[in-house]
Amino acid sequence: MNRIYSRTMVIFVCLSLAAVSFFSCAGRDRIDADSGYQMIMGTFVHVVAVAEDAGTAKKCVRVALEEIRKVDDLMSDYKSDSEISRVNREADKRAVKVSESTYEVLQRSVEFSKMTGGAFDVTVGPLVALFRKSKENKVAPSEEQIALARSKVGFEKLKLDIENKTVQFSGNGMLLDLGGIAKGYAIDKAIEAAQRCGAIGAMVDIGGDVRCFGLPPAGKDHWLIGLQDPNSAIEGVEGGGLLLVLKLTNAAIATSGDYQQFVFIEGKRYSHIMDRRTGTSAEGLSSVTIIADNATDADALATSVNVMGAEKGLALIEKLSGTEAILITSQPKSEIIKTAAAEKYIEN
């Protein structure tokens, strides 16, 4: 299930393929501030904030970036002093108290696990660790190793205490990995921070997952977000070609795919997205783009649909209010499949 922090296929349409915003509005002064590209959460981060004066716009960018760094400090399993790393070290021995933010993400994760029948599962850490080691050693894991790792996976084994905000594992060797939801959560917290700070519009991009709200910079008409063609990325095209362009207002998108984050081990191609049912990487879809009201939902659902596959994944998304999907099946077919109302987001 896991989606390791990385650059995904969503890029922004402008001459340099950097983020650019467009929206029409009259009668209100708008000044924007731009963070440029910064490395946080192991990937690129880009924030644009719009306000009625330059000082407020700059402050909104600053507080948005601070929120993203806070989430990274809490939830990165690459940082030994993060809350998630502490949980991974200690939760098989005792209940570990965590922050409101970490608890909220774990609680939402369990909800997504139940909604998707386990396709989304933040306890896939043992499988992620196994394939990370295989990547380093360049030796594919054996069936016995996969079976052992799978035995340590299962959101059902995660014990959450809402009153005390504690986390505990019911089995030894369990590991949490929030790569499939933490980016989205960080984006939402950054947007909320910018709104509190006085922004009248903002765009937050973390590794290609994006949320926009309100008014973009003056003189622009819409937020336009380019969707990268996974086939051009696989073929090694510099930057990847654009498959289509999405037009968003007060919405979020997240893309999960196997075309950029993958590895060949003993001649076989493995995606970074783990399927707990098989104990190996998800197959069948090159990319999944989810459009939703918030980035947390979009992030988790993009990963979920990748694991569920096109038929079951689309059936789930069609049931969810305000949520759409654009899927691209794996080569050689490379078919584009969309939910019924996804077309309204596509710029003609």
Q: How far is CA 261 from the centre of its chain?
A: 13
pLDDT in tens, 139-168: 888 899 999 999 999 999 999 999 999 999
Those residues whose C-beta lies under 8 Å from the C-beta of residue 165, and which sit 6 or more positions away, are: 97, 98, 99, 100, 103
Q: Are 228 and 256 a contacting pair, CB within 8 Å?
A: no
Those residues whose C-beta lies under 8 Å from the C-beta of residue 277, and which sit 6 or more positions away, are: 118, 307
How much is the pLDDT for 68? 98
Those residues whose C-beta lies under 8 Å from the C-beta of residue 33, and which sit 6 or more positions away, are: 48, 49, 51, 54, 57, 58, 60, 61
pTM as predicted? 0.88
Whole-angstrom distance between the N-terminal and C-terminal Cα of the chain? Answer: 33
Low-confidence spans in the chain with pLDDT less than 70: 1-28, 231-240, 257-272, 332
Q: Which fold has domain 1-348?
A: T-fold (3.10.520)
